[in-house]
Structures are given as structure tokens and as C-alpha cells.
Amino acid sequence: MVSPDTIRTAIGVVGNGTALVLFLSPVPTFYRIWKKRSVEQYSAVPYLATLLNCMIWVLYGLPLVHPNSMLVITINGTGMAIELAYVALFLACSAGAARRRVLLILVAEVAFVAAVAALVLALAHTYERRSMVVGILGVLFGTGMYAAPLSVMKMVIQTKSVEYMPLFLSLASLVNGICWTAYALIRFDLYITIPNGLGVMFAVGQVILYAIYYKSTQQILEARKRKTDQVAMTEVVVDAKNSGAGNGNYL
């Protein structure tokens, strides 16, 4: 008979994979930033927020804080490295006040997590207390990260289009949330359960919106394509007329 711990480990491994997909999903965006050597109108806030969340959960998973949480450390450590790479690229391709703002936020986040780690390890003398303090912070920052898609969901409802809410990412978020919620419930961990349970709810909401607005999205895209084709055809006709008029002047 398979033990609960073995099942929990297997689910955690799958959760690591789905979380990695989510961490790597902005790669096309940053490839574009690197290619253009400009951050354009992109914001560094989502990546800084995810970085802070990963740092908190790495701290939570440390043996001195919450023993037997190696899978929490591995995926959040990986996520921390990926988000640091994003932020570094953002810094390299931005300038002036924008670069200084991102750098200041980055330094503040590192200082904050270092201060939390020092205080928790120095003042909390049991695993339960350390887990509680860092876990509460993890719930707060994790919930904020998972709630980020609410703005996209609002835009979907307003525009009746899921063009900027890819189904693949919504499904990956759903599977990731389910995996980590199950992982937390097998050996009950309230601090991992809350943000990931909320993540499941938000992801289900995204999938439902996708089902509702998929057809209207296709209609919007087709209408846009027809309009673009009409504009292109008009430009061709105008160019032809101008060319004909020019040739007439030479006769």
C-alpha cells in the first residue's frame, strides 16, 4: 500500500513541474525586451511581487523553520532564480527613474526577507512559531500573487474577449493550484492550503470565463481581420490611383 507521504511527494513533484511552467511563461515577453533593448510599457511589479513571494516560501521551507519541506524549497528556489533573471534583464534594459525604482524595490525586498529571517530565527524558538510567522507572510504575499489575474478577468468581462488570457496559462495555474492544495492537505499545512486554494478558485473562474467568451472572441478577431483587410485593400486602390495619375502626368 502506498503511504500518504509517498503520494504527497509525488503530487509535490507534479506541482514543481506546473509551477515551473508558470515561472517560465513570461520568457517570450523578456525575449522581446532583450531583442528591443527596451522595457517599453511593461511593468516590473509582477516579477518583483513573484520574487518576494518565492523568497518568503524558501524561508518557510528551510529546515530551521518548517522541516520536511524540500519540495517547497526546490520550486521556490528555482522560481527565485528565474524572477531574479527577469528583474536583472529589466534593469539592464531600462534607464533613469524606472531603473532606480526597480533597484530600490529589489533592495528593499531582500532587506525585508533578511530581517524577517533574522528576527524569526532569533526570537521564535519553536518550529511552530517560526512556521506561523513566515507562513502568515507567505499567505499574504501568495494570495496577492494569485489574485493578480483578477484585473485580467475584469478586462475579459468588459471586452467580452479572452484574447489576452491564454487558456494554457489558466489551465497550468489550475493544475498547479490543485497539486499544491492536495500536497498541503495530505499532511495538513494551513499556510500552503490558503493561497493555493484561492489560486484554484481564481483559475476555475478564468476557465469559466474562457468558455463563456470564446465564441465572442473569435467573432471579434474575425471582425478585426476583415477591417484590416479592408484597410489594406483601400490602400492598394489609393496607391494604384496615385500611380495611374502619376503615369498620366508623364504622358
Q: Is the residue at 149 inside a domain?
A: yes
Q: Answer yes or no: is 18 within a domain.
A: yes
Q: Is residue 240 part of a domain?
A: no
In a domain, 37, yes or no: yes
Which pLDDT value is given to residue 144? 74
| pLDDT, tens digit only, all 251 positions of the chain | 778 878 888 888 888 888 888 888 888 878 888 888 888 767 787 788 889 989 999 999 999 999 888 889 999 999 999 999 999 998 998 888 888 999 999 999 999 999 999 999 999 889 899 999 999 998 888 877 777 667 778 888 888 888 767 777 788 888 888 988 998 898 888 888 988 898 889 889 989 998 998 888 888 888 878 887 777 667 666 666 666 655 554 44
Q: Establish how many alpha carbons lie within 13 A of residue 203's alpha carbon, considering only the half-sphere containing its beta carbon.
A: 23
Given a contact cutoff of 8 angstroms between Cβ atoms, the answer to whether 50 and 106 are in contact is: no
Residue 148 lies in a domain: yes
What total of structural domains would you count in the chain? 1
Query: Is 244 a member of any domain?
Result: no
Whether 232 maps to a domain, the answer reads: no
The 10 Å CB-count burial string (b at 16+, else e) for 100-125 is: eebeebbeebeeebeebbeebeeebe
Give how far Cα 231 sits from Cα of 24, 186, 221, 239, Å.
Answer: 37, 59, 15, 12
233 domain residue, yes or no: no
Domain span holding position 36: 4-225
**Rounded distance, CA 139 to CA 151, Å?**
20
